[in-house]
Structure 1
Amino acid sequence: MSTDELALLGGEPVIRQPLPHEVWPPPAGEDELAELARQRNTDISIKGNAGPVGALEEDFLRFLDGRVRHAVTFNSGTSALFAAYFALGVREGAEVIGPALTYHAALSPVFALRGDVVLADIDPATRCLDPKALEASITERTRVVTAVHQWGHPCDMDAVLDIAGRHGLRVLEDCSHAHGSRYRGRPVGTFGDAAVFSLQANKAVFAGEGGILVTDDAQVHDRATLLGHYRDRSRDAVLDAQLRAFWVTGYGLKLRMSPFNAIVARHALAAFPARKQARHRCLRHFGERLATVPYLEPVHVADEADMGAWYGYKPLYRPGALGGVPRATLIEALRAEGMEVGAPSGPRLGTLPLYSSPDNPLFPGADKRPSTPAPGSHAEHVEQHALSLPTFTAWPDDVPLIDAYAEAFHKIARNRDALVRHAATRG
Structure 2
Amino acid sequence: MTTDDTLALLGGAPVIHQPLPHEVWPPPADEAELAELARQRNTDISIRGNAGPIGALERDFLDFLEGGARFAVTFNSGTSALFAAYFALGVREGVRVIGPALTYHAALSPVFALRGDVVLADIDPASRCLDPKTLEAAITERTKVITAVHQWGHPCDMDAVLDIARRYGLRVVEDCSHAHGSRYKGRPVGTFGDAAVFSLQANKAVFAGEGGILVTNDPLLHDRATLLGHYRDRSRDAVLDEDLRAFWVTGFGLKLRMSPFNAIVARHALASFPARKKARHHCLNHFTRQLRSVSYLEPVHTADEVDMGAWYGYKPLYRPEAMGGLPRSVLIDALRAEGMEVGAPSGPRLGTLPLYSGAENPLFPGAFKEPSSPAPGSHAEHVEQHALSLPTFTDWPGDEPLIDAYVEAFRKVERNRDALLRHAARLSP
Pairwise TM-score range, normalised by the shorter structure: over 0.9
2:268 is equivalent to residue 267 of structure 1:
yes
Residue equivalent to 1:5? 6
1:319 shift after superposition = 0.1
Residue equivalent to 1:191? 192
Residue equivalent to 1:180? 181
Matches of 2:59 and 2:92, distance apart in 1: 31
Residue equivalent to 2:114? 113
1:297 shift after superposition = 0.5
Residue equivalent to 2:357? 356
Letter in 2 for 1:209: E
Q: How does 1:70-81 map to 2 (within 5 A)?
A: 70-81=71-82
CA deviation vs aligned residue, 1:199-256 (integer Å, no higher than 9, x gap): 0000000000000000000000000000000000000000000000000000000000
Secondary structure of 2:145's partner? strand
Residue equivalent to 1:224? 225
1:2 shift after superposition = 1.1
Matches of 2:358 and 2:94, distance apart in 1: 16
Matches of 1:85 and 1:23, distance apart in 2: 34
CA deviation vs aligned residue, 1:177-210 (integer Å, no higher than 9, x gap): 0000000000000000000000000000000000
Residue equivalent to 2:150? 149
Residue equivalent to 2:138? 137
Residue equivalent to 2:400? 399
1:382 shift after superposition = 0.1
CA deviation vs aligned residue, 1:281-318 (integer Å, no higher than 9, x gap): 00011111111100000100000010000000000000
Letter in 2 for 1:423: A
CA deviation vs aligned residue, 1:372-407 (integer Å, no higher than 9, x gap): 000000000000000000000000000110000000
Q: How does 1:7-406 map to 2 (within 5 A)?
A: 7-406=8-407
CA deviation vs aligned residue, 1:83-118 (integer Å, no higher than 9, x gap): 000001101110000000000000000000000000
Secondary structure of 1:173's partner? strand
Matches of 2:137 and 2:337, distance apart in 1: 45
Corresponding pairs, count: 427
Letter in 1 for 2:167: R
Letter in 1 for 2:165: A
Matches of 2:365 and 2:379, distance apart in 1: 33
RMSD of aligned residue pairs (Cα, Å): 0.3
Matches of 1:216 and 1:370, distance apart in 2: 32
Matches of 1:176 and 1:2, distance apart in 2: 46
Letter in 2 for 1:413: E
2:424 is equivalent to residue 423 of structure 1:
yes
Matches of 2:124 and 2:426, distance apart in 1: 36
Matches of 2:423 and 2:323, distance apart in 1: 12
1:77 shift after superposition = 0.2
1:21 shift after superposition = 0.4
Letter in 1 for 2:83: F
Secondary structure of 1:283's partner? helix
Secondary structure of 1:247's partner? coil
User: TM-score under structure 1 normalisation?
Assistant: 1.00
Letter in 2 for 1:227: L
Secondary structure of 2:362's partner? coil
CA deviation vs aligned residue, 1:135-171 (integer Å, no higher than 9, x gap): 0000010000000000000000000000010000000
Secondary structure of 2:395's partner? coil
Secondary structure of 1:389's partner? coil
1:61 shift after superposition = 0.1
1:426 shift after superposition = 1.1
Matches of 1:402 and 1:248, distance apart in 2: 54
Give runs of ≥4 in structure 1 deviating > 4 Å. none
Matches of 1:162 and 1:421, distance apart in 2: 52
Matches of 1:240 and 1:309, distance apart in 2: 36
Secondary structure of 2:39's partner? helix
Matches of 2:87 and 2:3, distance apart in 1: 62
Matches of 2:394 and 2:161, distance apart in 1: 31
Secondary structure of 1:213's partner? strand
Q: Percent identity?
A: 84
